[in-house]
Amino acid sequence: MPMVDIQNVRKQYAGGFEALKGVNLQIEEGEILALLGPNGAGKTTLISAICGITMPTSGTITVGGFDVVKNFRQARDLIGLVPQEINLEPFTKVIDAVRFTRGLFGKPKDDALIESILKRLSLWDKRDNRTMELSGGMKRRVLIAKALSHEPRVLFLDEPTAGVDVELRRDMWDVVEGLRQDGVTIILTTHYIEEAEAMADRIGVIRQGEILLVEKKDSLIARMGEKELIMELADPLAALPGALSDFDLVLSEDGTCLTYRYDTSAERTGIATLIATLSAQGIAIADMSSRQKSLEDIFVGLVDEHGEDAA
Amino acid sequence: MNLYAIGAMYRSEMSRFFRTIMQSFISPVISTSLYFVVFGTAIGSRIDQVDGVSYGAFIVPGLIMLAVMGQATSNASFGVFFPKFTGTIYELLSAPVNFLEIVIGFVGAAATKALFIGAVILMTSFFFVDITIAHPLAMLAFLLLTCLSFALLGFIIGIWAKNFEQVQLVPMLVITPLVFLGGSFYSISMLPPVWQVTSRFNPVVYLVSGFRWSFFDQADVPVGLSLMAIAGFTGGCMVVIWWIFKTGWRIRS
Ligand SMILES: Nc1ncnc2c1ncn2[C@@H]1O[C@H](COP(=O)(O)OP(=O)(O)OP(=O)(O)O)[C@@H](O)[C@H]1O
Ligand SMILES: [Mg+2]
């Protein structure tokens, strides 16, 4: 049974705008899923629907097997949420804000736990400060501390590192790694692809309320194993000679540039044969470079491709 | 019941009150003293007695009601509006709590504050006039029910309000006039007949009358009617709040 099971979820806001168009997504226990997507894709809406902040128009969502509407108590017991917006009661002390959340989730007082969470997030020195006296990055840490205070089994991090310095990002990654070892299921949204690469087991891409792809990070990286060899020719070619037709080659329109695609993980890349064939054909190469495809290329490619469909 | 959650909400609401405890304490003392000086002394020197009670003593229940209704309403409405304003309401919406628990936490705290203010005013009154309370238990019951029902009303206002002006508008435009016209400072029987009839439509009349009965054993309307009025008002507010949470009106997009 998946830890989070989203079936056919649609969300139409009061104005009539459809922010989610039938989302299906299953997340296994202990997994870390990164949700990528441009602004307005529906990431926050999806998280809000799971956590009870917004009501889905149709479809069902279960967390830990509990329906988030019908059995909201059992479902929400399991869920921790770090919202995208920094929302904090300004006059409350940091430690009181964190204790409040723990109580709200029906857990008895546990000062040792709160202390360890605050220390892990480098907030212990600030525990008696009012939240309004903190910097933006520290406020975000407080939100994370609040979400961890009731020991959730499923944690939603909605852009946890937006506008955050390198140090906190590292801290965050460490915290996430620690949670992963405790078996916590984590769903995070981010605009930083390197972050998804660093933390996630699976990567989902959402655009205009639709999930375009959900794939294991490893298989995406295998796709990234594809490389391109770009060769600038000394003399332009009018067309590809027949002898080269066996190679995966593309000739640029002006005939000055040849691009060869190959897989670095393959046993034979075919580069040596290609070079030999080129010189046998009397084609001289002026310059040569190679380029790796990144997750970003795949991501941008996907989003653009579907963008044209939508337009 | 998620008792830890109720406790957490109640404590966090009360902490705001304790942060401004001096204001909470001093302002009712000063305003009550002013009322005694203005109403008790100036008007009292001309009215002497109402229904056999000295005018100074007669206005005490009305004064307490005036303050308690205003305080219960504004504390609750502000308490609910503030998390909407700061955005921290996301936490209440995503927590394993139901509407009853949220209401107990927020309304309970607002009612407690109002009760405290009511007690302060009663204490202050003892310095100005002689009062004996004929039915102390009934007095307490009326006070508690008034705190509760107006805190519920405040809760609704807090959810309805879209800005701070609206939070303040209802108490100022609706509650204060109703209380002033509700026999706080006079007996309904002192009014011309037309106004006596009109007053019957003012719910505050029933509350003030019942409360005053618990002090002086005299009422403008039968006590049973007063109790029914306040029970009906409390029940009505609960129904509205239940509906709000069921539909998510103005809280869940
Ligand atoms: N309360 C609302 N009422 C109406 N429309 C809304 C509401 N909240 C969000 N939307 C719309 O729904 C769409 C999805 O918004 P959402 O916040 O889920 O996007 P997102 O993927 O989280 O974007 P971002 O990366 O900017 O955070 C947007 O077009 C947004 O304008
Ligand atoms: Mg978002």
* B126-165 pLDDT, tens digit each: 888 888 899 999 999 999 999 999 999 999 999 999 999 9
Q: Is the dihedral of CA B57, B60, B61, B63 positive or negative?
A: positive
Predicted model pTM: 0.85
Q: What is residue A305's predicted lDDT score, i.e. its pLDDT?
A: 66
Q: What is residue B144's predicted lDDT score, i.e. its pLDDT?
A: 94
Q: What is residue A142's predicted lDDT score, i.e. its pLDDT?
A: 95
Q: What is residue A299's predicted lDDT score, i.e. its pLDDT?
A: 72
Ligand 1 centroid from CA A151, angstroms: 28
| CATH code of domain A226-292 | 3.30.70.100
- The ranges assigned to domains in chain B are 3-247
* A218-261 pLDDT, tens digit each: 887 776 667 888 999 999 988 888 888 888 888 988 989 999 98
- Residue whose CB lies within 8 A of the most ligand 1 atoms, among A35, A45, A192, for a mutation test: A45
| Whole-number Å distance between alpha carbons of A228 and A226 | 7
Ligand 1 centroid from CA A42, angstroms: 6
CB of B93 within 8 Å of a chain A CB? The answer is: yes
The string over B216-231, giving b where at least 16 C-beta atoms fall within 10 Å of a residue's C-beta and e elsewhere, is beebbbebebbbebbe
At residue A294, does pLDDT exceed 70? no
Q: What is residue A8's predicted lDDT score, i.e. its pLDDT?
A: 97
The identity of residue A3, as a single letter, is M
Q: How many percent of chain B have pLDDT more than 70?
A: 100
Closest CA to A87 of A133, A142, A14, A21: A142
Q: What is residue A214's predicted lDDT score, i.e. its pLDDT?
A: 93
pLDDT (mean) for B76-92: 94
CB of B176 within 8 Å of a chain A CB? The answer is: no
Closest CA to A39 of A307, A309, A311, A248: A307
Q: What is residue A295's predicted lDDT score, i.e. its pLDDT?
A: 67
Q: What is residue A308's predicted lDDT score, i.e. its pLDDT?
A: 53
Say what the ipTM of the complex is.
Answer: 0.89
Q: Is the CB of A15 under 6 A from ligand 1?
A: yes
At residue A117, does pLDDT exceed 80? yes
* For the CA of A48, the nearest ligand: 1
pLDDT (mean) for B1-9: 95
Q: Kindly list the strands in the beta sheet with A32-36, ordered across the sheet, starting from the edge strand earlier in the chain.
A: A79-82, A154-158, A185-190, A32-36, A202-207, A210-216
The residue count for chain A: 311
Q: Which residues pair with A33 in a beta bridge?
A: A187, A202
Fill in the DSSP letter of residue B42. I
Q: What is residue A248's predicted lDDT score, i.e. its pLDDT?
A: 86
* For the CA of A205, the nearest ligand: 1
Minimum mean pLDDT range among A42-51, A103-112, A185-194, B102-111: A185-194
Ligand 1 centroid from CA A11, angstroms: 11
CB of B40 within 8 Å of a chain A CB? The answer is: no
At residue A310, does pLDDT exceed 50? no
Q: What is residue B21's predicted lDDT score, i.e. its pLDDT?
A: 82
Task: Name which residue sits closest to atom 30 of ligand 1, judged by CA.
Answer: A40
| Whole-number Å distance between alpha carbons of B51 and B63 | 18
Give the residue range(s) of CATH 3.40.50.300 domains in chain A.
4-222
Give the residue range(s) of CATH 3.30.70.100 domains in chain A.
226-292
pLDDT (mean) for A4-20: 95
What's domain A4-222's architecture? 3-Layer(aba) Sandwich (3.40)
Which residues on A lie below 8 Å from B15 (Cβ)?
Answer: 92, 96
CB of A17 within 8 Å of a chain B CB? The answer is: no
